[in-house]
Amino acid sequence: MARSTADKAAAAVKRAGVKGVNKPKRTPNHPTKSHVVVAKEGDKVKTIRFGQQGVSGSPAKKGESEAAKKRRASFKARHANNIAKGKMSAAFWSDKIKWAPQFL
Q: Tens-digit pLDDT profile for the chain (104 aa)?
A: 667 888 889 999 998 999 999 999 999 999 999 999 999 999 999 999 999 998 877 888 888 899 988 999 999 999 999 999 999 999 999 999 998 876 54
In what helix (H) or strand (E) does residue 95 lie, and over which residues does it extend?
helix 90-97
- Look at residues 44, 53, 55, 54 and name the one whose alpha carbon lies nearest to residue 22: 44
Please give the pLDDT value at position 61.
84
Q: Does this model's pTM top 0.85?
A: yes
For the beta sheet containing 33-41, the strands, ordered from the edge strand earlier in sequence to the opposite edge, are 25-26, 33-41, 44-52
Please give the pLDDT value at position 102.
64
Give the number of other CB atoms < 10 A from CB of residue 73: 11
How far apart (Å, rounded) are the C-alpha atoms in residues 51 and 59?
Answer: 14
Please give the pLDDT value at position 4.
85
